[in-house]
Amino acid sequence: MARKKSPNLTEAELRLMDVVWDKGEATVSEIAEALPRELGLAYNTVLTTMRILEEKGFLRHTKSKEGRAFVYRPVVGRDEASRTAVRYLVSRFFRNSPELLVLNLLEDEELSGKELRRIRALLAGEEA
């Protein structure tokens, strides 16, 4: 049975989207070259993932003016993708409560004092 496609980005998809967001547009070859060598991703793997991203609505392609390659451009921006991922996280793990997410972050012992102070200052500024 085929796995249902998630509207959210997988880790591998995010890696490729980061390249496209940084470049503004890119061919499969340019994306493959921009990825860390240790990943060892073949051209066909990158191409397949780009097609999946297009099906999910994150990318659109056009034909390159210089050659045969398709040029991929983001349809969804990094900020929009982040907001969608956070909404999904809140609905899945925090019972649709942004408050529970924030409380979880504030109670996280791994946050630095600087991070906690900044979050508290932002919250205090919103209340004023």
CATH number, residue 56: 1.10.10.10
- The closest of 29, 68, 22 to 45, measured between CA atoms, is 29
35 three-class SS? coil
- 111: in domain: yes
Clarify whether residues 68 and 15 are in a common domain: yes
Clarify whether residues 20 and 69 are in a common domain: yes
Residue 25 is predicted with a pLDDT of: 97
Residues 6+ apart with CB under 8 A from 62: 70, 71, 73
Domain of residue 21: give its range: 11-74
Clarify whether residues 70 and 18 are in a common domain: yes
- 26: in domain: yes
93: amino acid identity, one letter: F
Largest CA distance in the chain: 57
The whole model's pTM is what?
0.81
Clarify whether residues 16 and 49 are in a common domain: yes
Residue 127 is predicted with a pLDDT of: 52
Clarify whether residues 68 and 99 are in a common domain: no
| pLDDT confidence bin for 61, thresholds 50/70/90 | very high
Tell me how many domains the chain contains.
2
Clarify whether residues 105 and 59 are in a common domain: no
| pLDDT confidence bin for 55, thresholds 50/70/90 | very high
CA distance 99 to 25: 37
- 28: in domain: yes
- The closest of 24, 61, 70 to 43, measured between CA atoms, is 70
Clarify whether residues 70 and 16 are in a common domain: yes
| 5 or 69, which is more confident | 69
**Mean pLDDT of the chain, nearest integer:** 90
- 56: in domain: yes
